[in-house]
Amino acid sequence: MRRGTLGALIFCLVLASVPCWAADWQDGAGPEWQKLLEAGRKEGKLVIAGRPDMAVPMSAAFKRDTGIAVDFLGGEGREQLTRIAREMRAGQVTIDIVFGGQGMIPFVNDGFMKEIKPQLILPGVTDVKNWTRGQLKWVDKGNAYLFEGSEYVFGWALLNSDVIKPGEIANWTDLLKPQYKGKIASFDPRVNGPGQAGISYLADLHGVDFIKQLFGTQDITIANNSRQLVEWVQRGNYPIALATLVTEIENFRQAGVKNLAIGQMSDGAGAVLGGSSVIAEPKGAPNPNATAVFLNWYASRPGQEVFSATWKVPSLRNDVHVDGIPDYVVPKSGATYVDQYTEAWYLDRYLGQYQAVLVDLIGK
């Protein structure tokens, strides 16, 4: 083979092997997209309600990529839901996009949400080859309203390695041992958030009697702030914590804290959750074009990279590779996980079986 031909061949191979993330997220977009982008830019901004830690990176990246500004409404997720619920029912919506979890399913079923699926028009989004599940993940049973961008494993305990030796707690049932009484803290399972997911997983795994026994006998201390929970474990106030957020743990570790260990249990692989990666659009949102642009951007590589890097969880897109995502949240091939982010799980298991028990665990 002549040298020139070989060079051309190598060049072509290199081009072919360039991962698709190197491609522009708008590649292949038709005139419909350009029209939408222009209309979105004319609206100039959109209002997003979500976790406050996403405000700066997400707003900056979206502005950089589209020229459209974001007004970000932070605060607690439950307060955002209280607000958006009243706005929707009064027909006076001021928020375009809501980041949340399964708690939005009732709003979908009450007809307050707008379909997202038909608004996703970028080829890089609709091409199922780009998604780890071979399809886009939706939380609602209609597969159209609640789009889930990332999925991570939740179902481990946070341990103080100075107090709890490796292997000392190998199963969830070990937590029932008398020596751990008064040593365990948990995020409040009565509140929409990590406590609800984490404790529901224990019910999925060992039944509601197990969680009744756990909370009934072990004098578990409840926290409403994930940071406080991680600090308690690190300082040794409570060397075991249930339902902590990965971002908090990793912030501590990055700062140089050494004694935080992840207790992987042998009696269950865990549950997979979407966390705050689930987005929804209320009907009557004030900036529909900018919203549609955001939906496409968020489901594309740059949007998913920002979310993934901020929350330190893996994206459901194949082409998003972000440094710093810890192993214990990445689903392992071959493992069986409970998928809590489905309407069936939420309605049948959570609302049908667990909710009343979770509230009663600590007392109404």
Partner 1 sequence: MTEIPLTNAAPPRPAASFRRPDRRIWLGILLLLAIGIVTLAPIAYVIGASFDVSAIGRPFKFGLAGWNDLFTNKNSLDAIYYSFLLSVRVPIAIIAAFLISWLLIRVQIPGRRFIELSLWFGFFLPVVPMVMGWILLLDAHYGLLNTLLQKLPFVHGPIFSIYSISGMIWVHLSLTTIPIMVILLTPAFRQLDAAYEEAADIAGAGITGTLRRITIPLLVPAIVTAFVSGLIKSLETFEVEQLLGTPAKIFVYATRIYDLINWEPPLFPQAMALSSLFLVILLVLAVVYQRYLSRTGDIATITGRGVRMRPRRTSSPWAYAASAVLILYIVIAIFLPLMILILGSFTKLFGFFFIENAWTTAHWREVLGDDRFLRAAFNSIFLGTAVGLIGILVFSLIAWALVRADIWGRGLISVIIWLPWAIPGLVLGVTLLSLMLNIPGISWLYGTVIPLVLALLIKELPIGVQLLRNSLGQVSGQLEEAARISGAGFTATFRRVTLPLIAPMLVSVFLLIFAGTIRDISTVVLIATPGLRTLSLLMFDFAVGGRFESASVVGILIAVLSLVITVIAFRIGNRVGIGN
- DSSP H helices, 299-353, are 301-311, 343-344
Rounded Cα distance between 298 and 116, Å, is 12
Complex with partner 1: residue 171 or 224, whichever CB lies closer: 224
Non-local (6+) Cβ contacts of 142 within 8 A are 108
Smallest distance, Å, CB 220 to partner 1? 11
Are the beta carbons of 61 and 306 closer than 8 angstroms?
A: yes
Tokens 């996009």 identify what position? Answer: 97
Are the beta carbons of 270 and 330 closer than 8 angstroms?
A: no
Query: Can you tell me whether residue 120 is helix, strand or coil?
Result: coil
Stretch that binds partner 1, among 65-73, 144-152, 209-217, 272-280 (CB under 8 A): 65-73
Smallest distance, Å, CB 192 to partner 1? 5
Site for partner 1 in 264-303 (CB under 8 A): none
Among 39, 222, 309, 347, binds partner 1 (CB under 8 A): 222
Stretch that binds partner 1, among 172-180, 241-249, 272-280, 292-300 (CB under 8 A): 241-249
Smallest distance, Å, CB 165 to partner 1? 20
The verdict on 308 binding partner 1 (CB under 8 A) reads no
Non-local (6+) Cβ contacts of 85 within 8 A are 107
Helices 355-362 and 194-206, axial angle in degrees (round to 10) = 110
Tokens 């305990």 identify what position? Answer: 157
Among 65, 87, 174, 339, binds partner 1 (CB under 8 A): 87
Non-local (6+) Cβ contacts of 349 within 8 A are 200, 203, 204, 340
Smallest distance, Å, CB 48 to partner 1? 8
Which has the closest alpha carbon to 34: 282, 279, 296?
296
The verdict on 217 binding partner 1 (CB under 8 A) reads no
Stretch that binds partner 1, among 9-17, 124-132, 141-149, 356-364 (CB under 8 A): 356-364
How far is CA 65 from its chain centroid? 23
Q: Enter the tokens of residue 204.
A: 């999925």
The verdict on 226 binding partner 1 (CB under 8 A) reads yes
The verdict on 94 binding partner 1 (CB under 8 A) reads yes
Complex with partner 1: residue 8 or 359, whichever CB lies closer: 359
Complex with partner 1: residue 43 or 76, whichever CB lies closer: 76
- How many chain residues interact with partner 1 (CB under 8 A)? 54
Are the beta carbons of 272 and 155 closer than 8 angstroms?
A: no
Stretch that binds partner 1, among 17-25, 74-82, 142-150, 163-171 (CB under 8 A): 74-82
> How is residue 130 annotated by DSSP?
G
Query: Can you tell me whether residue 173 is helix, strand or coil?
Result: helix
Stretch that binds partner 1, among 23-31, 205-213, 215-223, 269-277 (CB under 8 A): 215-223
Among 71, 115, 168, 174, binds partner 1 (CB under 8 A): 71
Smallest distance, Å, CB 78 to partner 1? 5
- DSSP H helices, 67-152, are 77-90, 105-109, 123-126
Among 25, 252, 341, 345, binds partner 1 (CB under 8 A): 252
Which has the closest alpha carbon to 320: 332, 304, 334, 339?
304
Complex with partner 1: residue 155 or 189, whichever CB lies closer: 189
Stretch that binds partner 1, among 27-35, 36-44, 67-75, 154-162 (CB under 8 A): 67-75
Stretch that binds partner 1, among 26-34, 76-84, 138-146, 269-277 (CB under 8 A): 76-84
Which has the closest alpha carbon to 103: 334, 280, 259, 235?
280
Q: Enter the tokens of residue 167.
A: 């292997």
Q: Point out which residues bind partner 1 (CB under 8 A).
A: 47, 51-53, 55-56, 71-76, 78-79, 82-83, 85-90, 92, 94, 103, 190-192, 196, 221-228, 231-232, 235-237, 245, 247-248, 251-252, 255-257, 355, 359, 363-364
